[in-house]
Amino acid sequence: MSAEPPDAFPVEHEEHENHERYLITYADMITLLMALFIILFAIGQTDLAKYRRFAEGASAGGGAGILEGGPELVSDREVGAPVPAVAPAEELAASLRDHLGSVAGAQVAVEGGAVVVRLPSDGLRFASGSAVLPSAGEHVVGVLAAELAAGPGDILVEGHTDDRPTSGERTNWELSTDRAAAVVRALVGRGVDPRRLTAAGRADTEPLASNGDAEGRAANRRVEVVLLAPQDEEEPIQR
């Protein structure tokens, strides 16, 4: 009896499908999510005590004790207690209000970190259409100079007019610029560093009130002395 010849081609059995392959993807996803949550948890762990010490040191102005290991790292005051502080601009504004109280119509405000002193043309005793600062106006500027001479920051002096045309050939642009320059000259004469000063004329482009009546026009005729706080060039003060 002869043996049956072997098959010329072996029979290939069908491969079973792996139904558990999804577990690999699922495990990878779980691992990534866990890593994400760990990172978020680590980022969210802010040291509140250090933050409060930093805020206290910054408000003090000197910065001592802010960095760990500094001589005043731990304050005697309770951490988180409110630290009363008055901004230098507010202090200067309050002082100017006290000294300019006798000048009719004078206003002092803090706008965007800058101290703005608004002096009516009548308060500076400018004659109608004139840019000559009389002795009474010199006295007012002298009060300003006493406050500004020793401080830091640039000083912008702006002249403003109402919308009525001037007599003669001088325009409101020239009148407002000349009045600002007159105040600048007076400030320099009283000891303010000229390198800190800039004069500008705005004419009637920035009214405070309506030019439709005498009261509004009087409010618009003014000189503004703006003390700009020292700042980074990337963050200009907005007025």
Whose structure tokens read 């004790």?
65
pTM: 0.61
Amino acid at 128: S
Return the higher-pLDDT residue of 211 and 236: 211
- The H-or-E segment that residue 93 falls in is helix 88-99
Q: In angstroms, how far is CA 182 from the centroid of its own chain?
A: 29
pLDDT level of residue 56 (50, 70, 90 thresholds) = low
> Residue 118: pLDDT above 90?
yes
- Cross-strand bridge partners of residue 158: 200, 224
What share of the chain in percent tops pLDDT 70?
68
Q: Which amino acid is at 163?
A: D
Q: What would the mean pLDDT of 176-193 be, rounded to a whole number?
A: 95
pLDDT tier, 225 (very low <50, low <70, confident <90, very high otherwise): very high
What pLDDT is stored for residue 1 in this prediction? 53
Q: What is the pLDDT, as a whole number, of residue 25?
A: 80
Q: What is the DSSP letter of 194?
A: G
Locate the DSSP E strands across the chain: 107-111, 114-120, 155-160, 197-201, 222-227
Which tokens hold the place of 100?
């300019």
Q: Residue 198 corresponds to which amino acid?
A: T
Q: How far apart are the first and last CA of the chain?
A: 114
> Running DSSP on this structure, what letter comes out for residue 19?
T
